[in-house]
């Protein structure tokens, strides 16, 4: 315990976080401006949307796919169900010898 003499992580200067670096936040800012609104704290969320953080934090890629990618996976689920229904694929019973004429 306490034997590791590693350096402390470098804390970046706050000036590196600019809204101009994030397309998502720029679009949000434009949508708010169209409604006459402004978010004074939007700069606090820039670190979540910068591209270089995507490789460091794979959880953000995962959550962005499932939260923002719903327009892709909802139709894919529907397509899968439709294809399985059309082809007559049935997963009930699984064919484990539970038919009426089988003996145990």
Q: Going by C-beta distance under 8 Å and a sequence separation of 6 or more, which residues neighbour residue 47?
A: 17, 53
Number of folded domains that form the chain:
2
Residue 47, pLDDT > 80, answer no
Same domain, 30 and 50: yes
Residue 33 structural domain = 14-56
Same domain, 20 and 30: yes
Same domain, 20 and 48: yes
Which pLDDT belongs to residue 2? 58
Asked whether residue 79 is assigned to any structural domain, the reply reads yes
Same domain, 52 and 69: no
**Mean pLDDT within 70-95:** 86
Residues of the chain above pLDDT 70, percent? 67
Alpha carbon distance 25, 49 (integer Å) = 8
């Amino acid at each position: 315990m306490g034997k590791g003499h590693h350096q402390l992580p470098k804390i970046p200067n706050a000036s590196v976080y600019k809204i101009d670096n994030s397309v998502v936040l720029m679009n949000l800012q434009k949508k708010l401006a169209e409604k006459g609104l402004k978010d004074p704290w939007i700069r606090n969320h820039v670190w979540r949307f910068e591209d270089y953080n995507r490789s460091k934090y794979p959880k953000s890629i995962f959550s962005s796919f499932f939260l923002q990618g719903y327009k892709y996976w909802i139709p894919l689920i529907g397509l899968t169900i439709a294809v399985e229904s059309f082809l007559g694929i049935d997963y009930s019973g699984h064919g484990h010898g539970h038919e009426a004429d089988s003996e145990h």
